[in-house]
Amino acid sequence: MPTKILIVDDERDFREGLVELLKIEGFDAYGIESIAGYDRWSSCNDYDILILDRNLPDGDGLEILKKRNSLCGSIILSCEGQTHDRIQGLNADADYYLVKPFPVDELVAILSRLERKMFIKDDTDVWKLDQIRWEIKSPKHLEIELTKSEFSLLNIFVDKPGLVISRDDIIRSLGFNPINYDNRRLEVMLRRLRKKIEDAGVVKFPLQTVYGVGLAFTEKLKSSKN
């Protein structure tokens, strides 16, 4: 699966040109123009690497770094290139800070480096959901059998690390109507699932309840067929 890259930049020609260039390089690239656009897009999509400008129409792009999933890579591309600007970006936890104009080859090399680092981490620090055997495998290779309902529940979180899914959306994905669904059924399923996985030897299962909102799987969960 190609690495998914999200570009946040309000210069339309630059943004669209960069999207096309990265697609030619083999990446899965998307572009949006503002912080508000990021909020809308990221509420229902995920990405692996974030590329953002600082001067956006509704604020400093550094605000987005506070919202992004910490498992994702990040690169700032900005005309703000003074030393204090770059320090601000790195202190905001950006992986790289490039000043416009920049060599395209350098950006592609940085993206490839981030991609390699993420691939290594995926091999050693990722949960896997077996689509054939209906099992979940922990990063330490513990294998836990799942019921149909448990499997359907966890499938919702595949490739969505840290993304909060609302209870209503979860209930719909399980095939029920939130209006007449008894939420206690979901709570019982969650308790049984967590106990099953903890009994198998997992210290802390990363399916977290975000009270008043929904659930989030706070580590990477990948689909597998073996």
Question: What per-residue confidence (pLDDT) applies to 119?
Answer: 58
Assigned token pair, 58: 């509704």
Contact 206, 218 (CB under 8 A): yes
The pTM of this model reads 0.55
Question: What per-residue confidence (pLDDT) applies to 136?
Answer: 94
Q: Edge-to-edge strands of the sheet including 49-52?
A: 28-32, 4-8, 49-52, 73-78, 96-99
Q: Residue 197 — very low, low, confident or very high, per pLDDT cuts 50/70/90?
A: very high
Per CATH, the number for 4-124 is 3.40.50.2300
Please tell me if the domain spanning 4-124 has the same topology as the one spanning 127-224: no
Q: Residue 65 — very low, low, confident or very high, per pLDDT cuts 50/70/90?
A: confident
Assigned token pair, 73: 């890579």
Q: Output 43 or 192, whichever has higher pLDDT.
A: 192
For 19-42, what is each residue's pLDDT tens digit? 999 999 889 999 999 999 999 998
For 108-117, what is each residue's pLDDT tens digit? 999 988 887 7
Q: Edge-to-edge strands of the sheet including 221-224?
A: 143-145, 135-137, 127-130, 221-224
Please give the angle made by the CA atoms of 165, 220 and 46, to the nearest 5 degrees: 55
Work out the average pLDDT over 78-94.
Answer: 88
- What residues have CB less than 8 Å from 201, skipping those under 6 apart? 140, 142
- What integer best gives the mean pLDDT of the chain? 88
Residue ranges covered by each domain of the chain: 4-124, 127-224
Domain 127-224 is of which CATH architecture?
A: Orthogonal Bundle (1.10)
Question: What per-residue confidence (pLDDT) applies to 178?
Answer: 92
**Least confident piece of the model among 33-37, 49-53, 80-84:** 80-84
User: At what angle are helices 104-124 and 12-24 packed, to 10 degrees?
Assistant: 60
Question: What per-residue confidence (pLDDT) applies to 204?
Answer: 84
For 125-181, what is each residue's pLDDT tens digit? 689 999 999 999 988 888 999 999 999 999 999 988 888 899 999 999 999 999 999
